[in-house]
Structure 1
Amino acid sequence: MTIQPGSQLLGPDQRRTAWDRLGKDHFDVIVVGGGVVGAGIALDAATRGLRVALVEARDLASGTSSRSSKMFHGGLRYLEQLEFGLVREALKERELSMARLAPHLVKPLRFLYPLTRRVWERPYVAAGLFLYDTMGGAKSVPGQRHLSRHGALRLAPGLRRNSLIGGIGYYDTVVDDARHTMTVARTAAHYGAVIRTSTQVVGFLREADRVVGVRVRDSEDGRSAEVRGHVVINAAGVWTDEVQALSQQRGRFHVRASKGVHIVVPRDRIVSDAAIILRTATSVLFVIPWGAHWIVGTTDTDWNLDLAHPAATKADIDYLLDRVNQVLVTPLAHDDIDGVYAGLRPLLAGENDDTSKLSREHAVARIAPGLVAIAGGKYTTYRVMAYDAVDEAAQDIPARVSPSITEKVPLLGADGYFALVNQTVQLADEYGLHPYRVKHLLDRYGSLIDEVMALAADRPELRQPITAAPSYLKVEVVYAAAAEGALHLDDVLARRTRISIEYPHRGADCAEEVAELMAGVLGWDEADTGREVRTYLARVDAEIRSQTQPDDASADALRIAAPEPRPEILEPVPVER
């Protein structure tokens, strides 16, 4: 089994080499956190010519960056808060990703905004969308389109007639957040960054008042090492305060976790040709097409329990069902739900009541010589956050630091994507697949499709679908372990694919088959494979049971009882929030 050269692989060989380099090399920038912001910082710094290491305690995108609303959105709702700069910035980033940086991953998506109030609502929303379109919302997609009630119902027949008086159509985007984050990290590795997951920061190295590196511990086998560099950037998301506490330095800001829950239902349960955005009493509700499903979300509640595994409750799910059922002809029931996921938003909070202001903007601060922290923000503006963080870190790097160039750096798989889409039929003949399957692969791997399918050149059985999850081919599992940094069954079923939320069995019915495919790449024996399957099944059982609980505390107690796939990971010392 071989992969042709052409991209930096995150596989077993790279993992061994990365550990050696962490202990021996001296880096310009050490990034703590493998979410989209951390991965973006690694890419930004590497493409400026800096020596970069990124360490992540669990998996790439294992926190917030795999549990979003799956939108690279322009921030339409922030117009109402007069956050014009934030909207303009988000629209610029959205356009860059759709057109240049990641067209294989970030896709335009048509939305319907149902109108419910006569006289004032249409001109009010239209004025906001005019600003939105003018700021860049209609640069490469159509601008707003006004619809009568009849026109809106023709677009979304699944809505009750009395739930709207008309509608306005506009465009935003959809993205597989976990795959996008992983691709940002792989692109950083392609430009020389050392990327290592299952590598937990357990302390900081200091010389006098300066931070000069971190102590890390392998979450798989418990080995430890010291990683030295000119500057450490804390990009740990909801763990920002916990990492900050390890440095024994007082932070300039704190992070407050807000839980967002989404449910996933089959596509035929809601009849609509467009995504739908609905107003609620406190926020908005998105109904977003996701392959053969709809994603409905989100909630917004404080969370003060386990940060690694936030749990959805029956109350969260009931809230979403209640809100969406207010507008649907055919109401959704609990039995319609194929998947549920909960994520935590890292919102900025001040150090006291006077300065406390939760925000979707981000903040960067130099906590001490050699230590920078970044928090807040939103997925869409990860690239802006990244170059702000590297700019702040530059004062601790002795050499001259070049300006950011990531707006000119396509992610792996982007180059050649549009041409390959036009060659879908020819590629289908070459690979012996149906054209729809090739389109699916192109929208996940872009121009890396040849690299993926090369693994099946001498193993035609890998071109077959996973038996209990036929949306994915077996070769995708092998590639995830060989090239995408997947170390555990959970990494593949929950992030490299989205089987854990797209099938009613949540991945349980294919866990053994997927584990056996991974075993050949990762060197698992029969005992390792069995342990991976048992651990994953325990996770699924814990999540399903937690989703029947009435409150956060009882749901959390059930969820955290499931075993961790990374046997040597340490729970961070909790900090007062």
Structure 2
Amino acid sequence: MGAGRGGDGNTGDGAARPDAGTQAEAEALDAAAEPSRLGPASRARAWDRLASEQFDVVVVGGGVVGTGAALDAATRGLKVALVEARDLASGTSSRSSKLFHGGLRYLEQLDFGLVREALRERELNMTRLAPHLIKPVSFLYPLTAHWERPYVTAGVTLYDTMGGKSSLPHQKQLTRSGALRMAPALKRSALVGAIRYYDAQADDARHTMMVGRTAAQYGAVVRTSTQVVDFLHEVDRVAGVRVRDVETGRETDVRASVVVNCTGVWTDQMQHAAGTRGRFRVKASKGVHFLVARDKIPSDTGMILRTEKSVLFVIPWRNHWIVGTTDTDWNLDLAHPAATRQDLDYLLEHINRVLVTPLTHDDIEGVYAGLRPLLAGESEETSKLSREHAVSRVMPGLVAIAGGKYTTYRVMAADAIDAAAEDIPTRVAPSVTDRVPLVGADGYYALVNQAEQLGLRHGLHPHRVRHLLDRYGSLLHGLLAMGDRANGGDPSLLEPVEAAPDYLRAEIAYAVAYEGALHLDDVLARRTRISIEYAHRGVDSAAAVGAQMAELLGWTDEQREYEVRSYIERVQAERDSQSVDTDVEADKRRLAAPDPRAPRLAALGTG
């Protein structure tokens, strides 16, 4: 599997070749002026800092809770490092339903505290912390019987109000005719009326990456492809971690007053590696989603449908609909959960019950499977396990946090650092992240109003500019500067990516130079969403994007070819897994594809 990595032909850090001194020096100067920049030069400096400095906190895991914990600790004035074995958001945090919501279904489970907390976080993030990334989205709740209206109305009214003041519109009652005008895709027999309500959504992978960059902005060392292979102990306490650079195989010790385990579904493995069983167990629940083109479901709004187990969402996503999710136990490979044909059949069966024109497997353009880290309880049905989070001081010097919802990441992160404070010898200030906007938020609203002028200046349609603003916010200036000839940029970067016209070539360059992308999969699956938004799933873009990344990262021809081949084989393996009915067979087929990071990952796992 490791053949063709070309590791001897570069620095192994994904950095530029040694002979590119001028470029590396320029980036180093830029990085000093812009600390949120996660590029090759900052990656090299981060390794030196990990090896030489004493930290207050080391966070393990680069999902939304891990990056949130790093941001929380850094903004309290603590010296913090975050290490992630793969890529930011490479696990659960890039494979959610893409909703930033309170969880309407949890009201029925009487989980009022969780819903209230999540609704408050939704409002805070939409209006203050990340308005560039988190957007309103409307949903239609079809009523299947007249008696449902007062019951559902009471629940949605509570949902609209229990989080306090909301900037979102309140519910609207609809007759059957009114609902069908809004969503003509629905069968007339599928509803007697409906209620429309509002929630919010986000590109989870981009949001997590922006949380990580914000942590770096406030001084955190953030380093991906950096795997924890052991824990350091002093007498009866954890005193840090030993890490391995996944790209080079180098190892070093990282010393800290406390280690915070934010590894989600890998929590139990990490606790075992530290020599303790921990105080809670985490169970993985697989959630599968698929994407279809927007014209396949004629509707002006998303939908939420009840199933016998839970709910099914139909979520607007740019030119697509996301349909999901499943909720099944998963005990196989944690890094690459696989969707089966049975999973897709389940989703198709339930959505087709209400559609005038049924969807088929041929309509499906993208598919993704993710794992929810649920706190295990007495029930073994994952749909009944807790979405509440738990924090535990596992042993002196080691704190673990798991469970929870994506939406409440900031609260979870603050709770984790509160628990970690017991092991930090200096006074720890209270959390302030409710007042710390993410990078790109500052100036966002003004730039939205200036979209036409920006478009004229750079030769882009205002719609394109608004799309970019909703991905980068005010960081857009740095991206557009890459294609500005007057400032030494390359105008060709403002052209679309081959076979993926919703994205610009500048976004590939920016992902490498500013967002820490090291592998082709990082760009096609997370910095952009080409892997799920196009029927070719990124295959038709792989060669062009791979060639662009090779030039930026100093890959050898051998490494470039390996990256492209690995990605194409990954897509084929995913398609193969989606043609079989059992998890075991799907897992076997998915793991047949090479993984550019896997050859050097140690046996401990990917946490």
Q: TM-score under structure 2 normalisation? A: 0.92
- 2:600 counterpart (554, 565, 568): 568
Task: State the SS of the aligned residue for 1:129.
Answer: helix
- 2-structure distance, mates of 1:429, 1:96: 33
Please name the residue that 1:438 is paired with.
Answer: 465
> Any idea what the Cα deviations from partners look like across 1:516-537, whole Å, max 9, x if unmatched?
1112221112111111101111
Please name the residue that 2:567 is paired with.
Answer: 536
- 1:88 counterpart (95, 116, 120): 116
Q: Confirm or deny: 8 A CA contact 1:348 1:376 kept in the other structure.
A: yes
Shift of 1:135: 1.2
Alignment of 1:12-411 (within 5 A): 12-119=40-147, 121-136=148-163, 139-350=166-377, 358-411=385-438
- 1-structure distance, mates of 2:605, 2:262: 17
- 1-structure distance, mates of 2:74, 2:355: 49
- 1-structure distance, mates of 2:229, 2:191: 54
- 2-structure distance, mates of 1:54, 1:403: 20
Shift of 1:25: 0.5
Shift of 1:570: 2.1
- The residue type equivalent to 1:497 in the other structure is T
Task: State the SS of the aligned residue for 2:586.
Answer: helix
> Any idea what the Cα deviations from partners look like across 1:73-124, whole Å, max 9, x if unmatched?
11111111111111110000000110010001100011110000122x1000
Q: Confirm or deny: 8 A CA contact 2:85 2:606 kept in the other structure.
A: no
Relative to 1, partners in 2 of residues 1:272 and 1:227: Cα closer, same or farther, differing over 3 Å?
A: same
Q: Confirm or deny: 8 A CA contact 2:332 2:587 kept in the other structure.
A: yes
- 2-structure distance, mates of 1:203, 1:223: 14
Q: Confirm or deny: 8 A CA contact 1:305 1:556 kept in the other structure.
A: yes
Find out whether 1:412 has 2:439 as its counterpart. Answer: yes
Q: Confirm or deny: 8 A CA contact 1:101 1:414 kept in the other structure.
A: yes
- The residue type equivalent to 2:600 in the other structure is E
Q: Confirm or deny: 8 A CA contact 1:516 1:529 kept in the other structure.
A: yes
Please name the residue that 2:16 is paired with.
Answer: none
Please name the residue that 1:559 is paired with.
Answer: 590
Task: State the SS of the aligned residue for 1:282.
Answer: coil
- The residue type equivalent to 1:75 in the other structure is G
Find out whether 1:459 has 2:490 as its counterpart. Answer: yes
> Any idea what the Cα deviations from partners look like across 1:227-262, whole Å, max 9, x if unmatched?
000000000000001111110112100100000000
Shift of 1:321: 0.5
- The residue type equivalent to 1:572 in the other structure is L
Task: State the SS of the aligned residue for 1:264.
Answer: strand
- The residue type equivalent to 1:131 in the other structure is L
**Matched positions, count:** 572
- The residue type equivalent to 1:182 in the other structure is M
- The residue type equivalent to 1:128 in the other structure is G
Please name the residue that 1:450 is paired with.
Answer: 477
- The residue type equivalent to 1:415 in the other structure is D
- 2-structure distance, mates of 1:250, 1:516: 46
Alignment of 1:401-550 (within 5 A): 401-457=428-484, 458-550=489-581
- 2-structure distance, mates of 1:535, 1:134: 49
Q: Confirm or deny: 8 A CA contact 1:242 1:572 kept in the other structure.
A: yes
Shift of 1:136: 2.9
- 2-structure distance, mates of 1:414, 1:574: 32
Task: State the SS of the aligned residue for 2:259.
Answer: strand
- 2-structure distance, mates of 1:573, 1:337: 32
Relative to 1, partners in 2 of residues 1:49 and 1:525: Cα closer, same or farther, differing over 3 Å?
A: same
Shift of 1:431: 1.3
Q: Confirm or deny: 8 A CA contact 2:325 2:347 kept in the other structure.
A: yes
- The residue type equivalent to 2:60 in the other structure is V
Aligned sequence identity (%): 67
- The residue type equivalent to 2:476 in the other structure is I
Q: Give the superposed CA RMSD.
A: 1.6
- The residue type equivalent to 2:185 in the other structure is G
Shift of 1:162: 0.5
- 2-structure distance, mates of 1:380, 1:447: 23
Shift of 1:137: 7.0
Task: State the SS of the aligned residue for 1:338.
Answer: strand
Task: State the SS of the aligned residue for 1:40.
Answer: helix
- 2-structure distance, mates of 1:526, 1:263: 34
- The residue type equivalent to 1:41 in the other structure is A
Greater shift in the superposed pair: 7-16 or 192-201: 7-16
Shift of 1:573: 6.2
Relative to 1, partners in 2 of residues 1:322 and 1:36: Cα closer, same or farther, differing over 3 Å?
A: same
- 2-structure distance, mates of 1:520, 1:137: 51
Shift of 1:351: 8.6
Please name the residue that 2:19 is paired with.
Answer: none
- The residue type equivalent to 2:137 in the other structure is L
Shift of 1:8: 1.6
- 2-structure distance, mates of 1:400, 1:352: 41
Structure 2: state its 5+ residue gaps: 1-22
> Any idea what the Cα deviations from partners look like across 1:252-287, whole Å, max 9, x if unmatched?
001000000000000000001011000000100000
- 2-structure distance, mates of 1:368, 1:215: 18
Shift of 1:7: 4.8
- 2-structure distance, mates of 1:478, 1:434: 20
- The residue type equivalent to 1:264 in the other structure is L
- 2-structure distance, mates of 1:332, 1:183: 35
Q: Confirm or deny: 8 A CA contact 1:137 1:171 kept in the other structure.
A: no
- 1-structure distance, mates of 2:134, 2:165: 16
Greater shift in the superposed pair: 125-134 or 307-316: 125-134
Q: Confirm or deny: 8 A CA contact 1:254 1:351 kept in the other structure.
A: no
- The residue type equivalent to 1:477 in the other structure is I
Q: Confirm or deny: 8 A CA contact 1:137 1:143 kept in the other structure.
A: no
- The residue type equivalent to 1:125 in the other structure is V
Q: Confirm or deny: 8 A CA contact 2:76 2:429 kept in the other structure.
A: yes
- 1-structure distance, mates of 2:577, 2:105: 31
- 1-structure distance, mates of 2:456, 2:585: 53
- The residue type equivalent to 1:315 in the other structure is Q
Shift of 1:204: 0.3
Task: State the SS of the aligned residue for 2:162.
Answer: helix
- 1-structure distance, mates of 2:450, 2:282: 47
Task: State the SS of the aligned residue for 2:600.
Answer: coil
Q: Confirm or deny: 8 A CA contact 1:349 1:357 kept in the other structure.
A: no
Q: TM-score under structure 1 normalisation? A: 0.97
- The residue type equivalent to 2:497 in the other structure is I
> Any idea what the Cα deviations from partners look like across 1:315-347, whole Å, max 9, x if unmatched?
000100110000001110111111000000000
Please name the residue that 2:15 is paired with.
Answer: none
- 2-structure distance, mates of 1:449, 1:401: 35
